């Protein structure tokens, strides 16, 4: 509700105040401080489009929906350096306002989740704060290096948990340690706990790699073959797996950009409708399958 | 000489745009401190501090009106101390500018050896130097303008060109009204203000440049670095937390207060001569001289205590009033315990506002005149658990160097080595909001919001058939409206006569990157998307020197009759 109100009133502002400043970009001396002339400008005109309609915050910052705080920060800074009114002149005002808004929302976990829900995005929670089991959180700012426990090698000795209890935790169901909070303790106790590991399974890794490693080290459901049951399996060598995973990601991204040059292909209303219908049909089919299976196994007493 | 040099060009800041030359003028950076002041400029490859004819980089901030000819610490041959004894010198302008006579800071200034008269009703205090045995009134703006004119001619003589564009540093705790007074003083001196930068953010910019240069040298990637900047001068104490990467400094949080070396000095004077407060009450010539002597002696003692653990104060005030006392460092620290506690609380608040722990801070920078005091250094390092302080900044020159860098960046100067490839993303030092829900201060733009910023608030009427509403805009950190600084007011008229709670009054605040605040109000009726009456846009601040009186009068005249209530956003 509040979003609707503010969006409509933002438009209202824009429509009501069409006072343009005369902008003199030939004069480098007065790049800014021309605000005396330029009153609140309409944001739906000119080069900048209204953020709510066409662009979403991710597009605005030029980051993917699953990007982490570090990536968002970097993108935000790059754009600020280009369009901040100090550099771009008063024209950058509206755009910077949108950037600030987008940054505020995407950097605040609660707001980001709400925003994702509102635009219908789900993302893999890589490096997020309230992560599901298996992913570590960060205390303080991101650092270039992160801690990672190779759970394949871990023997569950609890030495690391003993030395740095705010950083490491014992995953009782798997019988091995893992990182709960990056830099949860001071540097010295972390150092000690890394040293204390008898099998040297605590690694310093690049922060960018962390998300992939933490994802791959989690036991994944195994496919069933004939009579052999599925169960859970963990990647044998997580580091090589991460490498190939990254390679795959790159290849996928490359093919995607080949398929949709410019990646701004808009679907027509008819196409959209067809897609929605097809999607529904697929969902219905799988639902019916389960329904039939339930009917068969649980007997006839459902109907 | 000064009569001609100080021309009042314009009150607005539109001067300086009529340049015919296409070569951009590099704006100079000025740091006007409560007690000292300096000027610097980007000389094409680095920052250079300008010197006066006596080869000083750092000059005393005072103006003497002796013999009817104003002269300031920039050019004057006489020493500051002698001027002070005669009552003809005005100093501490920065503590007096833009304040009303109910302000405790103004009251503290009554101990200074010139006339500060208060009526305690919320109007401008009367300030006067003693000239030929006559109190001749002046204003802090005027004194500052005279000072700026001298700084300007000094810079022009040295740079051999006209100087019109300037970047000034200001304390974090300055209200928007005080900023307009600084702008007014600059306009009186024929200077065009490109930017007023909170002092620690100027230091943050300089730190950003250091980081940028370091990363160029070792080809490191732009890793984010968090720095806390603590700046304590004679008049103000400021703290900022900045996150810097790739030449972009993001101000995360700001905190500031009016505690500084002046308080340390006055507390110490009171300690040495418990009756010193009453000494200056009558403002006789003799008392002024005594006050001046005590001030100079105490100041010297405090300076000595920075390097020695104890020192002797030996001063003859005349009239059989002799002070001969040994003071040690512990005594000095005990007398000023409250001041130092305030400094600590500012640092802690700033870290909390930035949502950081002490361990997250990569660099701790302390600057300002008071950074030489061992206790100040200790209290900062104690908070940061003994962390070594950042080196490579001159405590007295960092702010002015930052202002000069900003001056070059803002003038559109490019540096082939990327030394000016910088940006400071500023944040609001105080919350800005309106009076609503009876007498509460309701924030529209909270403290530490990234600038430029635009936020809005939806309100409604409190009475049936309420056709008018008063919008009172305040700035500050207090809970109740009157604890904050009034910035301006306007009335919304012609609200359709409907039951209370029906009209939707939308108040929007917009701050652009040049820190100009506009307040917009629009009235919407349910079911309509068109405003019911023409909207209003008011540029703030609109108040004048008597703002203390004004707030009280508004309250008395209108009370709750034109109140508004915030609508809970669903």
The dihedral through the CA atoms of B139, B142, B146, B151 has a sign that is: positive
Does residue B19 sit in helix, strand or coil? coil
Do B30 and B151 form a contact (C-beta atoms < 8 A)? yes
The whole-number pLDDT of residue B507 equals: 94
Contact state of B360 with A141 under an 8 Å Cβ cutoff: yes
A80–chain B Cβ distance below 8 A for any pair: yes
- Chain B segment 248-277 residues within 8 A of A by beta carbon are 248, 250
Instruction: Mutation target for A interface from B360, B415, B514: give the one with most A CBs within 10 A.
Output: B514
CB count in 10 Å sphere of residue A123: 15
- Chain B segment 409-448 residues within 8 A of A by beta carbon are 409-412, 421, 423-425
Nearest residue to B243 via CA among B259, B230, B224: B224
Do B513 and A84 form a contact (C-beta atoms < 8 A)? yes
- Chain A segment 132-151 residues within 8 A of B by beta carbon are 139-142, 144
Residue A48 has pLDDT above 50, yes or no: no
Question: Does B5 or A3 have the greater pLDDT score?
Answer: B5
B537–chain A Cβ distance below 8 A for any pair: yes
Residue B487: inside a domain, yes or no? yes
Contact state of A141 with B508 under an 8 Å Cβ cutoff: no
Alpha-carbon span B525 to B494, nearest angstrom: 12
Assign residue B444 the CATH number of its domain.
2.60.34.10
Alpha helices in A108-237 (DSSP H): 109-119, 159-163, 187-196, 207-217
Tell me which long-range contacts B394-398 makes (C-beta under 8 A, separation of at least 24): B395/B366, B395/B367, B395/B368, B395/B369, B395/B371, B396/B36, B396/B38, B396/B58, B396/B367, B396/B368, B396/B369, B397/B38, B397/B40, B397/B49, B397/B57, B397/B58, B398/B202, B398/B203, B398/B206, B398/B365, B398/B367
Does residue B138 sit in helix, strand or coil? strand
Nearest residue to B285 via CA among B319, B314, B325: B319
Contact state of B529 with A33 under an 8 Å Cβ cutoff: no
- Say whether domain A2-119 belongs to CATH 1.10.287.110: yes
- Chain A segment 166-185 residues within 8 A of B by beta carbon are 183
Alpha-carbon span B305 to B300, nearest angstrom: 9
Domain that holds residue B72: 2-195
> Domain boundaries in chain A?
2-119, 137-218, 266-303
Residue A31 has pLDDT above 70, yes or no: no
CA distances from B394 to A35, B211, B249, B363, B387 (A): 35, 16, 20, 15, 19
Nearest residue to A95 via CA among B263, B512, B377: B512
A25–chain B Cβ distance below 8 A for any pair: no
The whole-number pLDDT of residue B359 equals: 93
Contact state of A29 with B412 under an 8 Å Cβ cutoff: yes
Alpha-carbon span B311 to A293, nearest angstrom: 94
Alpha-carbon span B490 to B473, nearest angstrom: 9
The whole-number pLDDT of residue B342 equals: 96
Alpha-carbon span A73 to B224, nearest angstrom: 10
B454–chain A Cβ distance below 8 A for any pair: yes
Instruction: Mutation target for A interface from B426, B512, B518, B521: give the one with most A CBs within 10 A.
Output: B512
CA-based Rg of chain B, rounded to a whole angstrom? Answer: 25
Nearest CA in chain A to B354: A140
Q: pLDDT band at A157, cuts 50/70/90?
A: confident
Nearest residue to B569 via CA among B435, B455, B427: B455
Assign residue B96 the CATH number of its domain.
3.30.420.40
* Share of residues in chain A with pLDDT > 90 (%): 3
Find chain A residues with C-beta within 8 A of B194's C-beta: 32-33
Under CATH, which number does the domain A137-218 receive? Answer: 3.30.70.20
Q: Which residues contact B103 (CB under 8 A, 6 or more apart)?
A: B548
Residue B232: inside a domain, yes or no? no
Residue B11: inside a domain, yes or no? yes
The whole-number pLDDT of residue B531 equals: 87
Per the structure, the count of domains in chain B is 2
Do B543 and B550 form a contact (C-beta atoms < 8 A)? yes
Alpha-carbon span B457 to B247, nearest angstrom: 34
> Where among B160, B195, B230 does a domain terminate?
B195
> Where among B195, B217, B243 does a domain terminate?
B195
Alpha-carbon span A168 to A149, nearest angstrom: 9
Residue B373: inside a domain, yes or no? no
Residue B223: inside a domain, yes or no? no
Do B327 and B298 form a contact (C-beta atoms < 8 A)? no
Alpha-carbon span B8 to B109, nearest angstrom: 28
Q: Tens digits of per-residue pLDDT, B470-496?
A: 999 999 999 998 899 999 999 999 999
The whole-number pLDDT of residue B395 equals: 94
Q: Which residues of chain B have pLDDT under 50?
A: 1-21, 220, 569-570
The whole-number pLDDT of residue B366 equals: 96
Alpha-carbon span B195 to B165, nearest angstrom: 9
Do B164 and B190 form a contact (C-beta atoms < 8 A)? yes
The dihedral through the CA atoms of B104, B107, B108, B114 has a sign that is: positive
The dihedral through the CA atoms of B280, B282, B284, B286 has a sign that is: negative
Does an H or E element contain B444, and which?
A: strand B440-445
Q: Tens digits of per-residue pLDDT, A60-98?
A: 888 888 888 888 998 999 899 888 888 888 888 889 999
Alpha-carbon span A13 to B509, nearest angstrom: 12
Contact state of B512 with A28 under an 8 Å Cβ cutoff: no
Residue A25 has pLDDT above 60, yes or no: no
Alpha helices in B284-442 (DSSP H): 285-305, 329-335, 337-353, 374-383, 398-410
Provide the strand spans (E) within B24-170: 28-32, 36-42, 47-49, 59-60, 62-64, 71-72, 89-91, 115-117, 126-128, 130-131, 134-135, 165-170
Does residue B46 sit in helix, strand or coil? coil
Q: Which residues contact B343 (CB under 8 A, 6 or more apart)?
A: B230, B232, B237, B259, B376, B379
Of A81, A90, A144, the CB nearest to B248: A81
Instruction: Mutation target for B interface from A33, A88, A206: give the one with most B CBs within 10 A.
Output: A33
Do B206 and B226 form a contact (C-beta atoms < 8 A)? no
Residue B324: inside a domain, yes or no? no
Does residue B37 sit in helix, strand or coil? strand
- CB burial of residue A286 (10 Å; 0-12, 13-18, 19+): exposed
A27–chain B Cβ distance below 8 A for any pair: yes
Q: Which residues contact B295 (CB under 8 A, 6 or more apart)?
A: B84, B113, B265, B269
* Share of residues in chain B with pLDDT > 90 (%): 63
Residue B334: inside a domain, yes or no? no
The whole-number pLDDT of residue B1 equals: 36
Do A134 and A178 form a contact (C-beta atoms < 8 A)? yes
- CB burial of residue B541 (10 Å; 0-12, 13-18, 19+): buried
B296–chain A Cβ distance below 8 A for any pair: no
Do A143 and A183 form a contact (C-beta atoms < 8 A)? yes
Q: Do β-strands B363-367 and B237-245 pair in parallel, antiparallel, or remain unpaired? A: unpaired
Residue B75: inside a domain, yes or no? yes
């Amino acid at each position: 509700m509040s979003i609707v109100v503010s969006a409509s009133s933002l438009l209202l502002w824009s429509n009501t105040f069409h006072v343009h400043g005369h902008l003199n970009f030939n004069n480098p001396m007065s790049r800014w401080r021309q605000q005396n002339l330029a009153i609140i400008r309409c944001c739906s005109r000119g080069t900048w489009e209204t953020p709510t309609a066409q662009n979403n915050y991710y597009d605005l910052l030029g980051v993917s929906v699953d990007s982490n705080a570090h990536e968002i920060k970097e993108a935000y800074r790059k754009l600020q350096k280009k369009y901040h009114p100090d550099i771009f002149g008063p024209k950058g005002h509206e755009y910077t306002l949108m950037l600030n808004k987008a940054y505020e929302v995407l950097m605040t976990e609660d707001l980001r989740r709400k925003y994702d829900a509102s635009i219908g995005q789900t993302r893999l929670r890589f490096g997020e704060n309230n992560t599901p089991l298996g992913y570590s959180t960060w205390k303080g700012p991101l650092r270039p290096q992160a801690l990672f426990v190779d759970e394949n090698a871990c023997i569950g000795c609890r030495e690391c948990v003993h030395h740095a209890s705010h950083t490491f935790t014992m995953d009782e169901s798997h019988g091995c340690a893992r990182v709960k909070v990056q830099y949860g303790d001071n540097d010295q106790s972390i150092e000690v706990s890394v040293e204390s590991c008898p099998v040297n399974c605590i690694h310093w890794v690049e922060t960018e790699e962390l998300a992939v490693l933490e994802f791959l080290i989690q036991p994944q459901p195994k496919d069933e073959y004939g009579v052999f049951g599925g169960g859970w399996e963990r990647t044998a060598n997580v580091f090589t797996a991460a490498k190939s995973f990254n390679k795959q990601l790159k290849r996928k991204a490359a093919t995607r950009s080949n398929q949709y040059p410019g990646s701004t292909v808009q679907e027509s209303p008819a196409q959209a409708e067809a897609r929605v219908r097809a999607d529904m049909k697929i969902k219905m089919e799988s639902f019916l399958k389960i329904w039939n299976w339930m009917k068969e196994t649980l007997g006839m007493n459902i109907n | 000489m000064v009569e001609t040099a100080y021309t009042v060009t314009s009150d607005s800041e539109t001067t300086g745009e009529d340049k015919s030359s296409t070569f951009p003028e590099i704006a100079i950076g000025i740091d006007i401190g409560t007690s000292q002041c300096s000027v610097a400029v980007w000389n094409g490859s680095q920052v250079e501090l300008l010197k006066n004819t006596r080869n000083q980089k750092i000059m005393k901030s005072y103006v003497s009106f002796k013999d009817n000819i104003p002269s300031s610490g920039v050019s004057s041959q006489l020493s500051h101390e002698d001027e002070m004894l005669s009552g003809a010198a005005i100093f501490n302008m920065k503590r007096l500018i833009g304040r009303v006579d109910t302000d405790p800071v103004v009251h503290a200034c009554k101990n200074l050896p010139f006339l500060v008269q208060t009526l305690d009703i919320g109007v401008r205090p009367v300030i006067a130097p003693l000239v030929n045995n006559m109190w001749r009134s002046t204003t802090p703006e005027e004194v500052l303008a005279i000072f700026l004119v001298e700084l300007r001619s000094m810079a022009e003589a040295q740079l051999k060109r006209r100087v019109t564009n300037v970047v000034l540093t200001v304390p974090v705790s300055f209200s928007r009204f005080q900023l307009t007074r600084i702008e007014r003083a600059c306009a009186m001196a024929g200077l065009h203000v490109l930017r007023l930068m909170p002092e620690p953010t100027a230091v943050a910019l300089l730190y950003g440049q250091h980081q940028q240069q370091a990363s160029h040298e070792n080809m490191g990637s732009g890793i984010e670095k968090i720095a806390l900047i603590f700046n304590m001068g004679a008049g103000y104490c400021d703290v900022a937390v900045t996150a810097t990467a790739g030449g972009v400094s993001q101000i995360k949080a700001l905190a500031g207060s009016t505690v500084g070396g002046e308080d340390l000095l006055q507390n110490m004077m009171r300690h040495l001569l418990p009756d010193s407060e009453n000494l200056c009450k009558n403002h006789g010539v003799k008392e002024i001289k005594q006050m001046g002597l005590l001030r100079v002696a105490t100041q010297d003692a405090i300076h000595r205590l920075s390097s020695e653990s104890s020192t002797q104060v030996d001063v003859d005030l005349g009239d059989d009033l002799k002070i001969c006392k040994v003071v040690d460092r512990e005594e000095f620290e005990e007398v000023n315990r409250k001041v130092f506690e305030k400094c600590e609380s500012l640092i802690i608040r700033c870290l909390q506002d930035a949502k950081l722990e002490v361990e997250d801070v990569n660099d701790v920078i302390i600057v300002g005149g008071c950074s030489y005091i061992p206790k100040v250094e200790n209290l900062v390092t104690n908070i940061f658990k003994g962390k070594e302080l950042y080196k490579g900044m001159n405590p007295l020159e960092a702010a002015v160097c930052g202002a000069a860098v900003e001056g070059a960046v803002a003038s559109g100067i490019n540096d082939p080595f990327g030394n000016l490839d910088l940006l400071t993303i500023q944040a609001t030092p105080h919350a800005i909001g309106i009076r609503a829900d009876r007498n509460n201060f309701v924030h529209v733009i909270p403290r530490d919001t990234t600038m430029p910023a635009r936020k809005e608030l939806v309100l409604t009427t409190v009475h049936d058939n309420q056709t008018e509403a008063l919008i009172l805009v305040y700035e500050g950190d207090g809970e109740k409206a009157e604890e904050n600084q009034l910035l301006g007011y306007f009335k919304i008229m012609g609200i359709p006569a409907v039951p209370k709670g029906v009209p939707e009054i939308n108040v929007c605040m917009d701050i652009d990157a040049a820190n100009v605040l506009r307040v917009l109000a629009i009235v919407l009726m349910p079911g309509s998307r068109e405003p019911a009456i023409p909207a209003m846009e008011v540029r703030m601040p609109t108040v004048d020197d008597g703002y203390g009186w004004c707030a009280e009068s508004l309250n008395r005249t209108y009370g709750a009759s034109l109140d508004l209530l915030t609508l809970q956003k669903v």
